[in-house]
């Protein structure tokens, strides 16, 4: 685990404050609006470090952009993400882990890492349609 610098703490605090997935650019802009002078490259480095330490979840948007959120669960999990509003639910399913192990084993792989994001429309957004 890396040292928690002032800039890294500011990035983590911002992610904790908003509690949804944000791009590095959005985080950078939010910090600047609050008077925090953190460079965009520093935001990217901080996000990578926080993700490596398990403090931040990362997923890819439909256009491939990396999005980040303060991690509320400190063990392996997956995400169910609303395409309409961005609401995200952390999910744990032992069946997924069993399936991953089975596929890896069938192809001669071991010590496999994975991440899974499922995208759909949440019940709140469904009721608005």
**What digits encode the pLDDT tens for the residues 30-56?**
999 999 989 999 999 999 999 888 888
- Would you call 120 helix, strand, or coil by DSSP? strand
In the chain, residues under CATH classification 3.30.1490.190 are: 75-129
Looking at 3.40.50.300, 1.10.10.10, 3.50.50.60, 1.20.120.450, the CATH number of the domain 1-72 comes to 1.10.10.10
Could you list the residues known to form a binding site for Zn(2+), using ranges: 82, 85, 122, 125
Q: Taking a C-beta distance cutoff of 8 angstroms, is the pair 69, 104 a contact?
A: no
The answer to whether 70 and 16 have CB atoms below 8 angstroms apart is yes
DSSP state of 22: B
Domain 75-129 homologous superfamily, CATH = Ferric-uptake regulator, C-terminal dimerisarion domain (3.30.1490.190)
Binding residue positions for Fe cation:
76, 97, 114
Known binding-site positions: 76, 82, 85, 97, 114, 122, 125
Structure tokens that stand for 22 in this block: 């944000």
End-to-end CA distance of the chain: 45
66-102 per-position pLDDT tens digit: 999 888 766 777 888 888 887 888 887 778 888 888 9
Q: Look up residue 95 and give its two tokens.
A: 């069946």
Q: Where in the chain is the domain with CATH 1.10.10.10?
A: 1-72
């Amino acid at each position: 685990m890396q040292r928690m610098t002032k800039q890294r703490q500011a990035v983590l605090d911002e992610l904790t404050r908003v509690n949804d997935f944000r791009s590095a650019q959005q985080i950078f802009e939010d910090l600047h609006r609050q008077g925090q002078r953190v460079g965009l490259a520093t935001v990217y480095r901080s996000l990578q470090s926080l993700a490596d330490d398990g403090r931040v979840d990362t997923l890819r948007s439909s256009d491939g952009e990396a999005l980040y959120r303060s991690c509320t669960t400190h063990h392996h999990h997956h995400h169910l993400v609303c395409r309409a509003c961005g609401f995200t639910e952390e999910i744990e399913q032992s069946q997924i882990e069993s399936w991953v192990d089975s596929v890896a084993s069938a192809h001669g792989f071991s010590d496999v890492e994975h991440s899974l994001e499922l995208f759909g429309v949440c019940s709140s957004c469904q009721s608005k349609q």
